[in-house]
Structure 1
Amino acid sequence: MHIDVTTAENTPGADSQAPPWSGQSVLRRIDGVLGYLVEIPAALLVLAEIIVLLSGVISRYGFHEPLIWSDELASLLFLWLAMLGAVVAFRRAEHMRMTAIVSMSGPRMRAFLETAALVAGLIFVVLVLHPAYEFAAEEVFVQTPALEISNGWRAAALPIGLGLMLVFAVLQLLDKADWRLTVGALTLGIAVAAGLVMLEPVLRTLGNLNLLLFFVIGVGALVFTGVPIAFAFGLATYAYLTLTTQAPSMVVVGRMDEGMSHLILLAVPLFVFLGLLIEMTGMAKAMVGFLASLLGHVRGGLHYVLVGAMYLVSGISGSKAADMAAVAPVLFPEMKARGAKEGDLVALLSATGAQTETIPPSIVLITIGSVTGVSVTALFTGGLLPGLVLAVTLCALVWWRYRDEDLSHVARPSKRVIGRTFLIAIPAIALPFVIRAAVVEGVATATEVSTIGIVYSVLTGLLVYRQFNWRRLYPMLVTTASLSGAILLIIGAATGMAWALTQSGFSQTLAVVMQGLPGGAIGFLLVSAVAFIILGSVLEGIPAIVLFGPLLFPIARSVGVHEVHYSMVVILAMGIGLFAPPFGVGYYAACAISRIHPDAGVRPIVGYMLALVVGLAIVIFVPWISIGFL
């Protein structure tokens, strides 16, 4: 499993050379123009969110006069950012999807599955476009309290965003070199839809067996054949609600809006952008340089540096992909020069990605706070030690594997050199501590502190490191919008599915089963850990949290497990699944970033995953590690 991230130019059929004024060439020109017309406002919306939230922080803490309209305006702009970002991700084929089966297929079957995935997205958009319009039309009559404008301005983002996805889907299907693939995929999609409609009378008599049919078999079939996870969730939820219940189809859109509109989720795009900033300004390089001068001369030293650097950088960016992209290119060339094997490098990089999932301001922590109501401040406080425990278990394995490493050719840096690299790194090292302190001490919220971090990083890049490439700013803003849109669309679709599961009575059944597990609280934690390792590898982390968090957290409280302790166990277990081959999406992201073939790391990663499991067991059996400082 991996994130299939390609540009529009790399989508199937785009590689064929077409004459300048052929039909395909005209379609690509239209696609390119429309792409810019969507990307530019999406990038501007990221910038606008930063300005609006920063203005609120300055007004409240600088002038002691809060802007009562800032959060409302930020919320209005946020839904537009989420939907336009999802459109950009759709056009670029950057929505998260599982491609294990697709990759193993022959060229012809692979092309058909790619086309079928596009058709599945098209069908979902067509189904929910009119309900989205109805939802926006109803919101016109709701007035916002502070700005006193119609909420329809915000809700209009849903039908417009879905409409743009429809346009890009049609353009991409028309651009296919082999029209027979398009016809075949459309025929299959329409046939499945028609078959389900014909079976509606039977489906309504099956009761909760429909949960197995739609949310296990249906979602499983869609995900494993390469349909983006957000559309797989959305299609299954829409089909279940419209074919087996009396709920109107507009409920799907309403739940999507609810899932994507939590103000705390604003931290997602801001921390993604912050992660890109620290790489561009040289802050990550400065931190890694200091750690390398401190530990690079000891056996396995650069491996320790990799673990430590990921721990520090995770406190800044909140994005695992950004963390790995900031650290790997700095360390890997020197580690290879010292004889480290490529497989071991990508294996440890993946393991450190799993290890740092609980380190604030992790996007997963923010998501848990959003969907379960657990205090984000408490999560940020509780996340530091569990990550450190896993770092220690990884370092213990590194020590064992590299205890006989020959470093006779490596010179030990002088204290002067170490001191100089430390002075250079101070502004960069200070940022994660500033972010954590500001949130934990209540100076600013997780969303607000990200804007402070962005301003800090910009000033540090311009004034301290003198490294700020203005030409990279626009692509970074577009990348932020695209990644954020992909994440938020999953959260919206998963919120709809979670609501459907709750309404069916599944949550009550699950609660009874989980409460009856032997072993009490420990048994519940162990079963949850195993479940989220599996879910993290198949569904990817955020949708797994959004789907099952609201169901399982109340059960955790009822059996006596502290909600922060449970959060840490769930996140670490999910991280292990997320970065473990053969399905873990994070593992393939690490391979792509380090430019190492996935096969190379499969064997070395087994030991690191076992070390992470040992660390997870320690966190499970010692709750103080998670809640000792609350």
Structure 2
Amino acid sequence: MQIEISEFGRADAAASGPAQPVHAGTRLFRAADRGIARATEAAAALLVLAEVALLGTSTASRYLFAHPFAWSDELAAILFLWLAMLGAVIALRRGEHMRLTAFIRGLSPERRAWLDALALMLVAALLLGLVMPSLEHYEERVVGLTPVLQVSEGWRSAAMLVGAGLMLLTAIDRLIQHATWIQIGAALAAVAAAYGLLLWLAPWFEDLGNGSLAIFFVLFVIAAMAIGMPIAFAFLVGTVCYIAFSTTIPLSIVPSRMEEGMSHLILLAVPLFVLLGALMEISGLAQGMIAFLVSLIGHRRGGLQYVLLGAMYLVSGISGAKAADMAAVAPALFPEMKKRGNHEGDLTSLLSASAVMSETIPPSIVLITVGSVTGVSIAALFTGGLMPALVGMLALCAVVWWQSRGEDLASARRFTWGEKGRLLLVALPGLGLPVVIRTAVVEGVATATEVSTIGVVYAVLVGVFVYRRFEWRRVYPVLVDTASLSGAILLVVGAATAIAWALTQSGFSQQLVALMGLVPGGQAGFLVVSALAFIVLGSVLEGVPAIVLFGPLLFPIARQMGVNEVHYAMIAVFAMGFGLFTPPFGVGFYLACAIGRVSPDVAIKRAWPHLAALFVALMLITLIPWISIGFL
């Protein structure tokens, strides 16, 4: 999900000024910070393993022996919240939280260093302001007992407090290590001045009523994201400032709402599918599928482009990150594609478009998030997502056919039937994994969360006993990476849940319902406007934060308009993917350029045929409900 290549808070040495002397106190702080970092990573890795073991044994006990563990979901939810918060700490340390870079990408390193210092200072100030509310929330919950385990609710709420404290230490450490003292002082003065101004204006904000929503949730959030502040913290800036300066609601409601948003057990599928995607790469499952597809159609005009689309259709959504999907496919195909005379801009554009096409393919993390925040059946979403992706793939195939008419096939290799058979045998375990996962969910063998553990065990067994290439030394880094990416995603979910609660209690949701009801054209007009709105949201926020923030507001309107929820979900997810990978604001497009090692200036000129095809596919999905619900 990380789309900025340079890490958040890490300015170039030249931009940060001359090296600063390292004092004994600074060295001691850094040593303590490194110790905390190692402990945090080890704890997060153990929590990932614990969740796999807990859900795996619980699923096996229920399905094989008809003896479910009544306490397993409760324990898994508690451990999951700790995993999410520790993962968020790791992501902050590594600079892996999702951020909008469209506004700062073209700035000089010197100016970016100043903005990074300001963004980090805002993060630190925000976390400092959340420590006491998190403690109050913990004290409120510690006296309660969980329904099944009968342990204190404080075990769950303590994760918010510990996470806020550790992220505060991390933000301070990033400032000390990667900003000059002048930059730190200037950023501190700016934040202090802003705080004083907000205190002075607080009575005016209270009198302004819902008019303050535009200030805090539009102006403040956009400004925070524009300077490079991670999206999750930008959301929290708007929410905390709105509650603190415009209402009398205690700030402890923020960690409470965040905890609720991050505690949905269905979201446990996020880290487990992220882990599964990494294990597929370690075990060789993805490479086997690609090699087989190449042997089938790689010798035809446009054959490797069709392989790229087919490979993305098969492996997409399992890793939880489009970067992982594209990185697993592109390096294996791009060199040979270039030998055949394909323009590198066309290849990068196709790679980016294939990520859009595959947005609705299960087990997509965005689909899981939709089910979590809207209550739509995950099994129905998994079933409904295959056909919209196929429509998108067919639209891109038409573009590939047109562009590859003059392709040079002199270097193309033709495989014998015997070679194809051997490659099929090698690819069968990989080809079988998506089928196993989707069948298990649709047939009710396991939930969308539990089925990921089946995939994890499957990938490990295939890598160890079939391909015999499983690299055990890579498991620990993969576990830490899983926690980091999951923490980055889930902190956005928690922050967006807090915003959604604030917007709902302010009465904004009712106003939005009334406004959307005025859209001309009835149901069709509402769907087209929704698709265009989700394109814009996707280009700014990405899929997960956008759906968590606006899903609870827009899906009830869709129900009132008589729109099938699965159909609406497919429109939303496909449109947000379109926005995410559409230049100049779609940050996913620049991620594809980085993976393809092509300048965005070169690729952007070649992107429009693929985007036009995908837009046609989106309109078909929007106006023909059968594409999404025909097989339900």
Interval of TM-score (by shorter of Structure 1 and Structure 2):
over 0.9
Task: Report the counterpart of residue 539 of structure 1 in structure 2.
Answer: 541
User: Residue type matched to 1:412 in 2?
Assistant: R
- Cα 1:349/1:16, change in 2 over 3 Å: farther
Task: Report the counterpart of residue 584 of structure 1 in structure 2.
Answer: 586
- Cα 1:434/1:139, change in 2 over 3 Å: same
Deviations 1:339-380 (A, max 9, x none): 222222221111111111100000000000000010111100
Deviations 1:502-532 (A, max 9, x none): 1111111111111121111110010001101
1:449 paired with 2:485, answer no
Task: Report the counterpart of residue 193 of structure 2 in structure 1.
Answer: 191
Task: Report the counterpart of residue 39 of structure 1 in structure 2.
Answer: 41
With the length of structure 1 as denominator, give the TM-score of the two structures: 0.97
1:288 paired with 2:321, answer no
TM-superposed CA distance for 1:12, in Å, is 5.3
1:351 paired with 2:353, answer yes
Q: Report the secondary structure of 1:446's partner residue.
A: coil
TM-superposed CA distance for 1:443, in Å, is 0.7
- Equivalent pair of 1:315/1:360 in contact (CA under 8 Å): yes
- Equivalent pair of 1:5/1:93 in contact (CA under 8 Å): no
Task: Report the counterpart of residue 229 of structure 2 in structure 1.
Answer: 227
- Equivalent pair of 2:580/2:588 in contact (CA under 8 Å): yes
How is 1:475-486 mapped onto 2 (pairs within 5 angstroms)?
475-486=477-488
Runs of 4+ in structure 1 deviating by more than 6 angstroms, as ranges, are: 14-23
CA distance in 2, matches of 1:11, 1:190: 23
- Cα 1:85/1:415, change in 2 over 3 Å: same
Task: Report the counterpart of residue 396 of structure 1 in structure 2.
Answer: 398
Deviations 1:31-73 (A, max 9, x none): 3222111111011111111011001111111221101111111
Task: Report the counterpart of residue 565 of structure 2 in structure 1.
Answer: 563
TM-superposed CA distance for 1:18, in Å, is 7.3
Name the stretch that deviates more: 470-479 or 171-180: 171-180
CA distance in 1, matches of 2:216, 2:78: 33
TM-superposed CA distance for 1:557, in Å, is 1.0
Deviations 1:581-614 (A, max 9, x none): 1221221222233333322211111111111101
Task: Report the counterpart of residue 244 of structure 2 in structure 1.
Answer: 242
- Cα 1:614/1:6, change in 2 over 3 Å: same
- Equivalent pair of 1:18/1:24 in contact (CA under 8 Å): no
- Equivalent pair of 1:2/1:99 in contact (CA under 8 Å): no
User: Residue type matched to 1:259 in 2?
Assistant: G
Picking from 105, 113, 117, the partner of 1:115 is 117
- Equivalent pair of 2:11/2:113 in contact (CA under 8 Å): no
Picking from 380, 383, 386, the partner of 1:381 is 383
Picking from 56, 77, 88, the partner of 1:86 is 88
Identity among equivalent positions (%) equals: 57
- Equivalent pair of 1:5/1:95 in contact (CA under 8 Å): no
User: Residue type matched to 2:605 in 1?
Assistant: R
CA distance in 1, matches of 2:337, 2:9: 34
CA distance in 2, matches of 1:44, 1:456: 20
Task: Report the counterpart of residue 527 of structure 2 in structure 1.
Answer: 525
Picking from 322, 325, 348, the partner of 1:323 is 325
User: Residue type matched to 2:425 in 1?
Assistant: L
Q: Report the secondary structure of 1:612's partner residue.
A: helix
Deviations 1:172-212 (A, max 9, x none): 22224521001111111111111011101111111221111
Task: Report the counterpart of residue 419 of structure 2 in structure 1.
Answer: 417
- Cα 1:593/1:573, change in 2 over 3 Å: same
Picking from 136, 154, 157, the partner of 2:156 is 154
TM-superposed CA distance for 1:465, in Å, is 0.8
CA distance in 2, matches of 1:15, 1:478: 32
Q: Report the secondary structure of 1:156's partner residue.
A: helix
Name the stretch that deviates more: 109-118 or 322-331: 322-331
How is 1:156-171 mapped onto 2 (pairs within 5 angstroms)?
156-171=158-173
User: Residue type matched to 1:590 in 2?
Assistant: A
User: Residue type matched to 1:183 in 2?
Assistant: G
Task: Report the counterpart of residue 433 of structure 1 in structure 2.
Answer: 435
Deviations 1:259-313 (A, max 9, x none): 1110000000000011111111111000000111111011111000000000000
CA distance in 2, matches of 1:144, 1:16: 54
With the length of structure 2 as denominator, give the TM-score of the two structures: 0.97
Picking from 583, 592, 595, the partner of 1:593 is 595
Task: Report the counterpart of residue 496 of structure 1 in structure 2.
Answer: 498
User: Residue type matched to 1:620 in 2?
Assistant: T
Picking from 200, 219, 231, the partner of 2:202 is 200
CA distance in 2, matches of 1:17, 1:218: 34
CA distance in 2, matches of 1:349, 1:306: 8
1:259 paired with 2:261, answer yes
User: Residue type matched to 2:129 in 1?
Assistant: L
Task: Report the counterpart of residue 71 of structure 1 in structure 2.
Answer: 73
Q: Report the secondary structure of 2:358's partner residue.
A: helix
- Cα 1:417/1:15, change in 2 over 3 Å: farther
User: Residue type matched to 1:111 in 2?
Assistant: A
CA distance in 2, matches of 1:331, 1:562: 39
User: Residue type matched to 2:316 in 1?
Assistant: S
Aligned length: 630
- Cα 1:581/1:455, change in 2 over 3 Å: same
- Equivalent pair of 1:18/1:25 in contact (CA under 8 Å): no
TM-superposed CA distance for 1:136, in Å, is 1.1
How is 1:611-622 mapped onto 2 (pairs within 5 angstroms)?
611-622=613-624
TM-superposed CA distance for 1:22, in Å, is 6.3
- Cα 1:97/1:24, change in 2 over 3 Å: same
- Equivalent pair of 1:27/1:175 in contact (CA under 8 Å): no
CA distance in 2, matches of 1:544, 1:255: 17
TM-superposed CA distance for 1:474, in Å, is 0.7
- Cα 1:28/1:10, change in 2 over 3 Å: farther
Picking from 458, 473, 476, the partner of 2:475 is 473
TM-superposed CA distance for 1:27, in Å, is 4.5
